[in-house]
Amino acid sequence: MASGDGTTVSADHKRPHGLGSFLRSQMRNIAPFLTLIFLSAFFAVASPSFATIDNVGNILTQVSVTGIIAVGLTFVILCAEIDLSIASIANVTGIAVAYFTLQESYVNIANVPLPGFVAILLALALCALLGLVNALGLTMIGIPSFIMTLAMMQIAAGVSALLVRGQIAYKVPSLISTLGSGSIGGIPWIVIVAAVMLLGGHLVLTYTRFGRYVYMVGGNREAAEFSGLNVKLILGCVMVISAVCSGIGGMLGVAHFGSAQQNEFDTYLLDSIAAVVVGGTSLFGGRGGIGNTIVGLFVLGVLNNGLDHVNIDSFLKILIRGLILLAALIINVYAQRLREQTAD
C-alpha cells in the first residue's frame, strides 16, 4: 500500500521542510513586496490624500531620476561591485550639458553656434569617459571599486566646481528640457524615459548573453574565468553603463529641477543604492535584477511620499529611511548565509 511505503511517508514529511526552505530562499524577494504592501496600506489609512491617482503620478515622477540612475547601478551590484560616483557623475553631466548650452553663442568654430544635440553628446561623452576611468582603475590597475569610485566621486565633484564656479545655470537643450520637465497625454516624459530604461535594463539582463555573463561574474567569478569569460571586460562594461545611466539621469534631473548647480544630486547616491538593495538585489552579486530594483524604487517612493502626507518631522523621516535600509541590509546578508548553507 502506498500509505505503508516508507519512501512515500518520508517524502511527505519533507514537503513542509521543502516549503520552508523555499520561503527562506525567497526571503530577499518576498520581504520587499511585503514592505511595499504594508507601507501602502498604512499611509492609505493614515492619509486620505495618499491613495489617489494624482499622488501615484507624483510618486512615479519623484522616483524617476533615481530609477534611471539605479538601472546602471543594478548592473554593477549584480557583479558584486559598487559605484559610489553615480551621484557626482550625474551632477557633473547635468552641469556639463547646461554649460555647453550656455556657451553655444561663443564656443564655436567660424561663428557657428553649438547645436543642442552636440551639447548632449559632449555631456554623454564626459560621463562615459568618467565611467571608463572607473573601469580602467578597477580592471587594469586592480583598484577595488569602492576606492576607485570614491576617488571618482571627488574628481567629478571637482569638475562640477570648475564648470559651474558657484553659479547656477538654467538653460539646457530643448530635447532635454522636454524629456525632463514636459509631458505627453498627462504623463511626464521623465516617467516614460525611466520606464523605458528600466525595461531595457531588464531585457538586457534577462534575454541577452551579456546579461547572463553579468550574473555569472557576480555569482562565481572564478568559475566565470575558468569557463573562458572575459571577466575584466564585463566589469569594465558595467562601470561604463553605470556612468552613462547616471549621466542621463543627471541631464534630465537638471531639466526637471529647473537649474544646474553644484551638489544638486548628492542625495541620489544613497537613494539609488537603497533602491537596489531594498528591492532585494544581493550585495554579494549574482542574485536580483531590475524587477527587484523597481520594487525598491516603489518602497522608497511610497515611504518618502507617505511621510510627507502624514506630516512627520523631517529629521524623523531621515531616521526611518535609515532603519529601513538597515533592515534591507540585514535581510540581504541573512539571505546570503542561507544560500551558502543550502549550497553546503
pLDDT tens by residue, 286-311: 888 999 999 999 999 998 888 888 87
Query: CB 202: neighbour CB atoms within 10 A?
Result: 18
More reliable by pLDDT, 99 or 71: 71
More reliable by pLDDT, 62 or 15: 62
Domain for residue 22, yes or no? no
Size (the chain), residues:
344
Domain for residue 21, yes or no? no
Percent of the chain at pLDDT > 90 equals: 49
Domain for residue 113, yes or no? yes
pLDDT tens by residue, 198-251: 999 999 999 999 999 999 999 999 999 998 899 999 999 999 999 999 999 999
pLDDT tens by residue, 85-126: 999 999 999 999 988 886 544 444 444 456 788 889 999 999
| Mean pLDDT value across the chain | 85
Domain for residue 16, yes or no? no
In whole angstroms, give the CA distance from residue 155 to residue 130: 9
Domain for residue 23, yes or no? no
Tell me how many domains the chain contains.
1
Q: Do 278 and 296 meet the contact criterion of CB atoms below 8 Å apart?
A: yes
Domain for residue 54, yes or no? yes
The residues facing 187 across adjacent strands are 184
Which parts of the chain are beta strand (E)? 183-184, 187-188
Query: CB 143: neighbour CB atoms within 10 A?
Result: 16
Does the pLDDT at position 192 exceed 70?
yes
CATH of the domain at 105: 1.10.3470
The residues facing 169 across adjacent strands are 260
Domain for residue 76, yes or no? yes
Q: State how far the alpha carbon of 133 is from the alpha carbons of 109, 125, 127, 244, in Å.
A: 29, 12, 10, 13
In whole angstroms, give the CA distance from residue 201 to residue 73: 11
Q: Do 239 and 135 meet the contact criterion of CB atoms below 8 Å apart?
A: yes
Domain for residue 19, yes or no? no
The residues facing 260 across adjacent strands are 169
In whole angstroms, give the CA distance from residue 272 to residue 301: 12
Domain that holds residue 111: 31-343
In whole angstroms, give the CA distance from residue 242 to residue 75: 7
